[in-house]
Chain A
Amino acid sequence: MADIQNRIRNFSIIAHIDHGKSTLADRLIEATGLISQRDMVNQILDTMELERERGITIKLQTVRLTYRAKDGCEYYLNLIDTPGHVDFTYEVSRSLAACEGAVLVVDASQGVEAQTMANVYLALENNLEIVPVLNKIDLPSAEPERVLKEIEEVIGLDTENTPLVSAKEGKNIEDVLEAVVTRIPAPKGDASSPLKALIFDSYYDSYRGVIVSIRVVDGQVKAKDRIKMMATGKCFEVDEVGLFLNGLHPTNTLCAGEVGYLTASIKNIGDTAVGDTVTHEKNAAVTPLPGYKKVNSMVYCGIYPIDGARYDDLKDALGKLNLNDASLLYQPETSAVLGFGFRCGFLGLLHMEIIQQRLEREFKLDIVATVPSVVYHVILTDGTMIDVDNPTNMPAAVRIDYMEEPIASATMMLPVEYVGSIMELCQSRRGIYLGMHYMDETRVVLDYELPLNEIIYDFFDALKSRTKGYASLDYQIKNYRKSDLVKLDILLNGEIVDALSFIVHKEKAYERGRKIAEKLKNEIPRQMFEIPIQAAIGGKIIARETVKAMRKDVLSKCYGGDISRKRKLLEKQKEGKKKMRQIGKVQVPQEAFLSVLKLDE
């Protein structure tokens, strides 16, 4: 047994977004002959259209490669892909916990970025051996020596024998495989101990139920075993275990040190929580593997079909997405203006955006999303505390003793010339300066405490636009803090639009109310009557704009040459109307809801 473990290497590839993680993974797969170049759609690990488009990994993929090293031995390399965004930090940490080492990909011209650092810290927390690799050395702007120096100084890694590769051109890929074999330690599990296997991913298959990705740490597991999930307490009988080759490949047993999958006719993906430990029902392990935690939603918003008749379609779509994404929460809610929809909880803003886009693209649904909200703690005068993730549910002011909001610690990495501008941005977002240090002569790391509700209002876009796209951001929720918060309402034609209400710091309320009213004025087309737009706190109006009445909508001249054009214009107008949401008498385009989030600072 020990012999087999010696020939296993479990590793992940970690990188900042765009540094070429997926391309390198593709090359490793190709180089080991698992999939021929011809059969390979670019970046097979990123299977969703959206992932490919955005160049990020949302859903994990794992693959086992067989590699004959220069020492003449054959090694089994389990490459565990990690999701590529800050919203999925917990999933990343569990993937890393399934490994002994990580290949750190750094762009040879961009150098070390905020996410590189965040990933390195995660890898170090999991005691991984880190193997740095410089990618994109084919680019004219590549400065391998500078970047290697940076890795040594900033991260403190030894960069001797660092592979210099171009994943795009397939250059020096072999060096990476050799480094994985020689530098990453083999797993050291005990196959005779009780079973302990870490769940690091799972997805739903309509024929076999949930397919659970596991790393066997100790013991072994095979078909017909009765197993137990230690955190959820659920028990199942294993149908099949296997390896991730080009697809699922059944085997007899998965032993200590191995990475693979199991199926057990599991219907609910919530029963296989990432980070949970699988053991046997009898002869169970005494303690689970460390590090399990229940993931909480950080950001909430309401999602409604534009066409109310498609409520059931939306429900089905969310159900299907949820089969593969236990972190997506949804429950029915009703809005006075939007009708029936769902309150949805997400890990973060990106997660929210991805779900919204998948609903629109994969399920062809036109949706309206309400202003996102974080989860506030509301402490009532009777001393009880409630969580509020929907402004509509905020209790009346007289019942509230005080409120608390989530605070994030944010790390931003940016070129030194933008420091002033970004400090100003953070200050304007109620940030508390924690510190700053130089990475090198040109770049600095800024540490701030920022209220999460400031981050979700367009902070990332503002950061990018102020630094011409050069800044990177990483954040983690730190704690809850008492704060002076109010509910801001928007009224259209005198009616409160519940979908546009949000909770905001009292000092920011006036400015934000004014900006939103202004924005809405530009987004709402003229209609047959004048439309007042008001922002209000409690009953007090703090800002007002007016959409002037449209006085005419008529084509004055229509002769022989104008008829088909006329019909097409009316068709277009009708299409446009269908995409609008009726609020009282007012037609509101979808963009109006989005515009409230984009304040163009």
Chain B
Amino acid sequence: MKKISLYVHIPFCKKKCLYCDFVSFENDHKNIAPYFSALYKEIKAYKTILYEEYTIDTVFIGGGTPNFVEVEYIEKLMKVIFDTFEVDVNAEISMEVNPCCRSGREDFIRYKKAGINRLSIGLQSASDDMLKQIGRQHSLLDFENTFQAAREAGFANINIDLIFGFYNQDINEFRESVRYVIQTGCEHVSCYSLKVEEDTPLYEQYMDEGIDIGDADYEDRQMYSLACQMLEHYGYKQYELSNYAKEGYECRHNLNYWDTKEYIGFGLAAHSYKDNARFYNTSDMEEYLQEIDTNNSAIEDIEQLDKAKQEEEFIIMALRKADGIEYGEFKRRFGEDFLIKYSKEVNYLSESELLIVDSSNAYLSAEGKNFANITMMEFISK
């Protein structure tokens, strides 16, 4: 049987953070019940498509803030998934949580019982000042309680999210945040360099204040390199541009994306990749509810990838990983020798010291990680 991953989007949260551009709604209580009904329906309708051909290898419940909604909805969601598909006994089942919402010991016991075995907790910063500045709805203490409760409920695989690169952010403050995360003993750290997206309040704020975020990039890279060093020192190996894990705790679900393997996304704006086609659901709540009601499906667009595009995606996603492109895997997938086919690009990039080429893999150098887009672009044929 083939393996596939599932993503489930929960587009609700207490309050949107100033930098967030994800599809999510603040305090949208009236849509929660209809949304979950639709979601269950959408998942069940997939039974015949995956049945007897696929086992579910990983599940990721993301948002939004999945612990913003009543625990029952998540319990029911997991039941629907288990009833509908064949879920591998060793499946990795993750859920995102934020310390602002349902995060007591009892809640976590219920999540655990429902089948969830990995948590990803949004901390972002260990400084209360910073948390306030970027619009987070919790304090460091709230996080501490959340983390504690999760451990007590038996979660042995926990990720903590950090974010850095805000304009005028103090590198000492960031160092303290990294140190704090390390001392929690969590298994996994995601550490993101801020991207100021248009249509976010933060973008507006920066525009109003005449801030060129490019001017913060020097500090941003200092923080990036600091995070790598500290985390590596304490046993968190960087296995992707923004992700670090203790040995054996790499996120299988996300690795699945970077390995350009198949996944199905359920819920508002969720993306899927199956049979060499990328497709995604509508981002409009009303439309989603209505489409699922009438068609069991809310797909907005499908893009069928030809061989060249599959290859491009394989390369750009693989380059995100510390291991980069493995020539053997490339040959298995595309029947060609990577180093021969891309000799020109590879030579140029290794001369520019952006790419490191060894006998089995090609991967980004430290400088290449700072300029990953410029490096990846060379492999785009268009």
Contacts and interface: CB of A to CB of B under 8 A. Distances in A.
Given A558-B241, A558-B257, 19 more contacts: A526-B214, A552-B217, A553-B370, A553-B373, A556-B193, A556-B195, A556-B241, A557-B242, A558-B317, A558-B320, A559-B257, A560-B265, A563-B313, A564-B271, A569-B373, A570-B316, A570-B380, A573-B373, A574-B377
Interface residues of A, number: 26
Contact of A570 (B260, B280, B373): B373
A555 B372 contact: yes
Interface in A542-586: 548, 550-561, 563-564, 566-567, 569-571, 573-575, 577
22 contacts: A528-B374, A551-B217, A551-B218, A552-B193, A552-B217, A552-B221, A552-B224, A553-B374, A556-B193, A556-B195, A556-B241, A557-B192, A558-B241, A558-B320, A560-B263, A560-B265, A560-B271, A560-B272, A564-B271, A564-B303, A567-B312, A570-B377
Contact of B195 (A557, A561, A574): A557
Interface of B: 7, 192-195, 214-215, 217-218, 220-221, 224, 241-242, 254, 257-258, 260, 263, 265, 269-273, 278, 280, 303, 309, 312-313, 316-317, 320, 369-374, 376-377, 380, 382
Contacts of A571: 380, 382
Interface of A: 526, 528, 548, 550-561, 563-564, 566-567, 569-571, 573-575, 577
Given A548-B215, A567-B316, A574-B382, A553 B372 contact: yes
Contacts of A560: 7, 257, 263, 265, 271-273
Contacts, number: 95
B323 to A, nearest CB: 16
Contacts of B271: 560-561, 563-564
A479 to B, nearest CB: 50
A553 B224 CA distance: 13
Nearest to B303: A564
A564 B273 CA distance: 10
A554 to B, nearest CB: 4
Contacts of A552: 193, 217, 220-221, 224, 370-371
A554 B377 contact: no
Contacts of A555: 195, 372-373
Nearest to B214: A526
A550 B367 CA distance: 12
Contacts of B303: 564
B269 A561 contact: yes
Contacts of B193: 552, 554, 556
Contacts of B254: 559
A550 B313 contact: no
> Secondary structure of the A side of the interface?
loop
Contacts of B377: 570, 573-574, 577
A13 to B, nearest CB: 49
* Candidate in A554, A557, A571, A574 with the most chain B CB atoms within 10 angstroms: A554
Contact of B278 (A526, A557, A558, A564): A564
A575 B381 CA distance: 10
B371 A561 contact: no
Nearest to B256: A560
B214 A563 contact: no
A503 B121 CA distance: 64
Contacts of B369: 554
B358 to A, nearest CB: 22
Contacts of A573: 373, 377
Contacts of A558: 241, 257-258, 317, 320
Most chain B beta carbons < 10 A, residue from A526, A550, A563: A563
A545 B215 CA distance: 16
A415 B316 CA distance: 60
Given A566-B316, A567-B380, A574-B382, A561 B373 contact: no
A10 to B, nearest CB: 56
Nearest to A553: B373
Contacts of B382: 571, 574-575
Given A548-B215, A574-B377, A563 B372 contact: no
A129 B73 CA distance: 90
Looking at A560, A566, A567, A577, which has the most chain B CB atoms within 10 Å of its CB?
A: A560
